[in-house]
Amino acid sequence: MSAISIILVLIISFLAGIEGILDEWEFHQPILACTMVGIATGNIASGVLLGGSLQMIALGWMNIGAAIAPDAALASVVSAWLVCGPSHLSVKEGIAIAIPLAIAGQVLTIFVRTIVVGLVHAADGAADTGNLHKLDLIHLTGLVLQGLRIMIPMGLVLLASPQAVQGALKAIPDVITNGLNVAGGFIVAVGYAMVINMMANSELWPWFFIGFAMSAITELNLIAMGILGLCFALIYLQLSPRFNGSSNGNGNDNSDSGNLSAEDELDRELEDL
């Protein structure tokens, strides 16, 4: 693997670790992290397939109260490297490895968050004295620690030889790997249920079935499917009165005080379920 690919993978790992906290560009989501690692290693198809599978699993991972969910960032970048990199593991093996990696990432983020508590107190002191420059540096330091939380383990994995990785994988008993695959399948079912729950309304159901119908067209590759999906989304946004601000038929968009915003309508539909 070239040095450029290794550097790009480390940068992606760092960004994924930061995004696990920021949630601004969603680089830590498996569908993005695995795809970017696939692009960096020149194996885009495997990265997309792995990312799509892990994304459905990650939909079932969520923070509840103060509980921290399994870490999708570490699971995504490391498993993507093992699948798309020189080890050339299968997507099925990558999914099985991603689950324990997510637990390891969860332990690491708890450790880093414990360290960040001291930075929070230092930030409080900087805010009391009005030292905004110091306050910015403290916040950036916390983000850098979160990025290193993913980049350092990724660097250690990069140092391992493909033969060592494959040997370690073969040393794992089949009962464990098969059990992890079954557990991953259960979590994927939870992810599908969450997606269907969000789509359970009269406006989105047609697109759900259109997707199944289009999947039968074997001549279309993933890029063509993605382009069609983007075009359908743009058409929907242009035609839907909820998004293009068109009139509701009486010549006055705001005349009906009972009109609900898009968020309110979605909340109402979810409550009706």
Residue 246 · residue 238 · CB < 8 Å: no
What is the distance between the alpha carbons of residues 174 and 157, in angstroms, rounded to a whole number?
22
Q: Are 49 and 178 in contact (CB under 8 A)?
A: no
Q: Is pLDDT above 80 for 269?
A: no
- Write out pLDDT tens, residues 117-163: 999 999 999 999 989 999 999 999 999 999 999 999 999 999 988 88
CA distance 18 to 258: 42
Burial (CB < 10 A; 0-12, 13-18, 19+), residue 88, is: middle
Q: Give the torsion sign (CA, 8, 11, 16, 17).
A: positive
User: Between helices 72-84 and 44-58, what is the axis angle to 10°?
Assistant: 150
Sign of CA dihedral 192, 195, 200, 204: negative
Query: 25-43: per-residue pLDDT in tens?
Result: 888 999 999 999 999 999 9
Confidence check: pLDDT of 212 > 60: yes
Mean pLDDT confidence for 109-117:
89
Q: What is the average per-residue pLDDT within 73-94?
A: 91
Q: How far apart are CA 197 and CA 179, in angstroms?
A: 27
DSSP letter, residue 26? -
Q: Lowest-confidence range among 108-112, 176-180, 207-211, 220-224? A: 176-180
Please report the pLDDT score of residue 39 as a whole number: 94
Q: What tokens does 83 get? A: 């699948």
Residue owning tokens 């991953």: 184
**Which residue in the block uniquely carries the two structure tokens 């979160």?**
146
Q: Hey, which residues does 64 pair with through a beta bridge?
A: 67
Residue 160, helix vs strand vs coil: coil
Q: Tokens 């006055």 appear where?
A: 252
